[in-house]
Amino acid sequence: MNDNSNVFGQPANAIPARDWIKVLSNYRDPDAVRSTFELAVTVVPFIALWSLAWVSLSITPWLTLAISVCNAAFLLRLFAIQHDCGHYAFYSNRSLSDWLGRVLGVLTLTPYDVWKRSHSMHHSTSGNLSRRGIGDIDTLTVAEYRALTPKKRLYYRLYRHPLVLFGLGPLYLFFIQQRVPMGLTKHARYWVSAMCTNAAILVALSIVFYFGGVKPILLIFLPTTLLAATAGVWLFYVQHQFETTLWDVDPTWDIHEAALNGSSHYKLPAPLQWLSANIGIHHVHHLYSRIPFYRLPEVLRDHNALAQINTLTLRESFANARLHLWDESSKKLLSFAQARKAK
- H or E stretch at 313: strand 311-313
Burial 163-173 (b: 16+ CB within 10 A, else e): eebbeebbbeb
CB 7 within 8 A of CB 247: no
Q: What is the pLDDT of residues 98-156, one digit of tens each?
A: 999 999 999 999 999 999 999 999 999 999 999 987 778 999 999 999 999 999 999 99
User: What is the domain partition of the chain in residue ranges?
Assistant: 23-341
pLDDT given at position 136: 83
Q: Give the pLDDT confidence of 35-61 residue by residue, as tens digits.
A: 999 999 999 999 999 999 999 999 999
3-state SS, 245-285, equals CCCECCCCCCHHHHHHHCCCEEECCHHHHHHCCCCCEHHHH
264-280 tens-digit pLDDT: 999 999 999 999 999 99
pLDDT band at 10 (very low <50, low <70, confident <90, very high): low
Task: Of 5-9, 241-245, 303-307, give the lowest mean pLDDT range.
Answer: 5-9
Considering the entire predicted model, what is its pTM? Answer: 0.93
Total residues found in the chain within this entry:
343
User: Taking a C-beta distance cutoff of 8 angstroms, is the pair 194, 181 a contact?
Assistant: yes
- Residues 23 and 303: their CA atoms lie apart, in Å, by 10
Residue by residue, DSSP assigns 175-199 as HTGGGTTTT-TT-HHHHHHHHHHHH
Tens of pLDDT, residues 220-253: 999 999 999 999 999 999 999 999 999 999 999 9
Beta-carbon count within 10 A of 210 CB: 8
